[in-house]
Structure 1
Amino acid sequence: MGFRLGELVERLGGQLEGDPNIEVIGIAPLSDAGASHISFLSNSKFRAQAGQSLAAALIVSANDDATVAESYKGARIVVKNPYVYFARAAQLFEAQTAVIKPAGVHPTAFVDPSAQIDASAHIGPKVTVDAGAVIGAGVIIDAGCYIGLEAQIGEGTHFFANVTFQAKCVIGKRGIIHSGAVIGTDGFGFANEGGVYVRIPQTGRVVIGDDVDIGANTTVDRGALADTIIEDGVKLDNQIQIGHNCVIGAHTAMAGCVGVAGSAKIGKYCTFGGAAMVLGHLTIADNVHISSGSLVSRSIHEPGQYTGFYPLAKNSDWEKSAVIVRNLETMRDKIRSLEKTIKTITKHEES
């Protein structure tokens, strides 16, 4: 199974340079592609490799096309953003081989009689659907998932095996939640009385928009009173923690092991590198990009790239730097004293 290049262009757009009847059966990296594959060039530093590729066709940008065409003799699809075009083409190829889950409820699943499940939804083995839950058209709930009391799952959303979706949580259309994710667990809310912690009931929800992807073993806490909100198009990688009452703005993306403490408000179109940390009750503007491993300890009100980690060094060099940092206050006092002395000498000479 495959696609003619002409068919790909008809579906996805782009300018085809070459034979539209060439058929490709899949996408492969530049180094591995053969005569039945299509590949893509998304980074100009690999132009030379693209020129020597054995792929039947390449997806390239207009900026790279002329250079690549000097040595590459296959067909080319010229587009604005080759990486995005590759992603959309990959979806087409995936759809050709996707296993279609049958509609209906597996005999081993438990569905409360008051739950509403669209006839086109798939409810897999050992799934539990609690009272009052609403599951929309084309939803896929794989084996072992738990859908809580009055939870709502929008059209075309897919829960992979062993997702926990707690009471009254909501997710919109076309969402994807991967195995082991827990949505709607209690937030970390306690009041301290003389060193003893008193639990604060977490009565809010998690409300998730459309087209949201949530990775394996990621946890999103329910709100204490108001809701935790994940807006449309957000992409969360594996093993991320989102604290209670956070707001994650539309189309923001977070890489693995990011942690966001409670009540943080993050804007739209932000990115967070792996293991970045955000302290609670902070506000981050739209279009902010946080480097991997950074600690965000204050609110950010202007878009841009922010980095907050100390560069890796040999341990001996790091220890020397640490000594310097510890002595900065003393060094500052000495410098100020020297500045005063120099100022006094200069004034005396001038007089």
Structure 2
Amino acid sequence: MAAGSGGDPVAGSDAISVGELAEALGARLVGDPDERVDRPATLATAGPGALAFLSNPAYRPQLKETRATAVLLAESALDDCPCAALVVDDPYLAWCMALERFAREPDLDPGIHDRAHVDPEARVDPGAEIGPMAVVEAGARIGAGVRVGPGCVVGRDARLERDVRLTANVTLGPGVQLGERTIVHPGAVIGADGFGLAMDQGHWRKVPQLGTVRIGADCEIGANTTIDRGAIDDTVLGDDVRLDNQVQVAHNVVIGDHTAIAGCVGIAGSTRIGRYCMIAGASGIGGHLEICDHVVITAMSTVLDSISEPGQYGSGIPARPLRAWQRTLVRLGQLERLFRSRRRAPR
């Protein structure tokens, strides 16, 4: 049963008293500290023994009716809480920290599976786990606590630092480096050739891609995301960079520490993105641009010029009722005619 269903406890989770949880989260407890919770749930689906939270004010009407044993919330919502309340400044952050107590990863099973292939010239720490059908090529180095899941390919001379996790069917190209505790989700491809082509007498000639990809510590790479190797220099992601599913990072892109990029974003080659940036889904970023630190780009935006000032930027057009959008398109088509007529008008 999925977490948050309000039914049976999450498999492998342990109950914790509300008092202990409040202390761990730095929350102010209003209620019985001896009450116990053993699973997370939403306000609407929670039952006895469940911990819920309220962050978005749109869900406040559900708070009065919740059957949760305890709720994480802000001081402003306390009067509507019918159960034990854990009062915090940032309920969503506290919820994230609480979920870490319920999450249970399978224990590492060090060793090389019988159906894995590890080249004799690879170096695998005895404390690493190499799963079934995984391939580790010559010269690769696998650190302690690393989990290489089923069907993964670790290319020649790749380097995985401590506690890296490749979930399943991940492909790492030659020389790729992953920093400590980095997580790569299924289907991701890191270190494939960048898209380099030169026209030669009417035919495309492939430009050899000689760099690799270097990713820092505590990063997360989403499912089916692709990060191309550099043409000469490397493609580089700093520490604590978070990429969602189906993100395309082209060759020689550099992404600064603590930047988060949502699904279906495409970043063209040799663009540099600063630290603490947030790029929302389906945005496209042109090549050879510079984006400074602390930039927010809203969903479906197209970035064709460098950004040198921190702040929020956007160009996506929100959906409108079809008839209203059709009228807007008609008026857009009339702009050129109106502009020309105005220029011809006597002053």
Normalising by structure 1, we get a TM-score of: 0.90
Name structure 1 gaps, 5 residues minimum. Answer: 342-351
Query: Which amino acid letter does the alignment assign opposite residue 21 of structure 1?
Result: D
Q: Secondary structure in 2 aligned to 1:238?
A: coil
Of the three residues 328, 332, 337, the one matched with 1:321 is: 328
**Residue 206 (structure 2) pairs with residue 202 (structure 1):** no
Of the three residues 40, 47, 64, the one matched with 1:27 is: 40
Deviation at 1:165, TM superposition (A): 0.7
**Residue 54 (structure 2) pairs with residue 41 (structure 1):** yes
Match of 2:256 in 1: 249
Match of 1:345 in 2: none
Query: Which amino acid letter does the alignment assign opposite residue 147 of structure 1?
Result: V
- Deviation track 1:242-280 (CA, whole Å, cap 9, x = no partner) reads 100011122211221111111111122222222111111
2:130 touches 2:147 (CA, 8 Å); kept in 1? Answer: yes
Deviation at 1:303, TM superposition (A): 2.1
Match of 1:172 in 2: 179
Deviation at 1:194, TM superposition (A): 3.1
**Residue 316 (structure 2) pairs with residue 336 (structure 1):** no
Q: After the TM superposition, which residues 296-307 of structure 1 pair with which residues of structure 2 at under 5 Å, given as runs?
A: 296-307=303-314
Match of 1:231 in 2: 238
**Residue 125 (structure 2) pairs with residue 118 (structure 1):** yes
Q: Secondary structure in 2 aligned to 1:220?
A: strand
Match of 2:10 in 1: none
Q: Secondary structure in 2 aligned to 1:7?
A: helix
Match of 2:5 in 1: none
Moved more, 111-120 or 137-146: 111-120
Percent identity among equivalent residues? 43
Of the three residues 277, 283, 301, the one matched with 1:294 is: 301
**Residue 69 (structure 2) pairs with residue 56 (structure 1):** yes
Larger Rg, first or second structure (1 or 2): 1
Distance in 2 (alpha carbons) for counterparts of 1:321 and 1:40? 41
Deviation at 1:289, TM superposition (A): 1.7
Q: Secondary structure in 2 aligned to 1:16?
A: strand
- Deviation track 1:278-336 (CA, whole Å, cap 9, x = no partner) reads 11111212222222222112222222222212343456654553443344233223223
Query: Which amino acid letter does the alignment assign opposite residue 103 of structure 2?
Result: E
- Deviation track 1:48-91 (CA, whole Å, cap 9, x = no partner) reads 321321110010123333x33xxx23111111211111111111
Name structure 2 gaps, 5 residues minimum. Answer: 1-13
Distance in 1 (alpha carbons) for counterparts of 2:220 and 2:323? 42
Distance in 1 (alpha carbons) for counterparts of 2:17 and 2:176? 43
Q: 1:313 to 1:194 in 2, by over 3 A?
A: farther
Q: Secondary structure in 2 aligned to 1:325?
A: helix
Query: Which amino acid letter does the alignment assign opposite residue 221 of structure 1?
Result: D
Query: Which amino acid letter does the alignment assign opposite residue 176 of structure 2?
Result: C
Distance in 1 (alpha carbons) for counterparts of 2:327 and 2:209? 47
2:74 touches 2:91 (CA, 8 Å); kept in 1? Answer: yes
- Bigger fraction of residues in helix: 1
Moved more, 8-17 or 22-31: 8-17
Normalising by structure 2, we get a TM-score of: 0.91
Q: RMSD of the alignment, in Å?
A: 1.7
Match of 1:142 in 2: 149
Of the three residues 86, 90, 93, the one matched with 2:99 is: 90
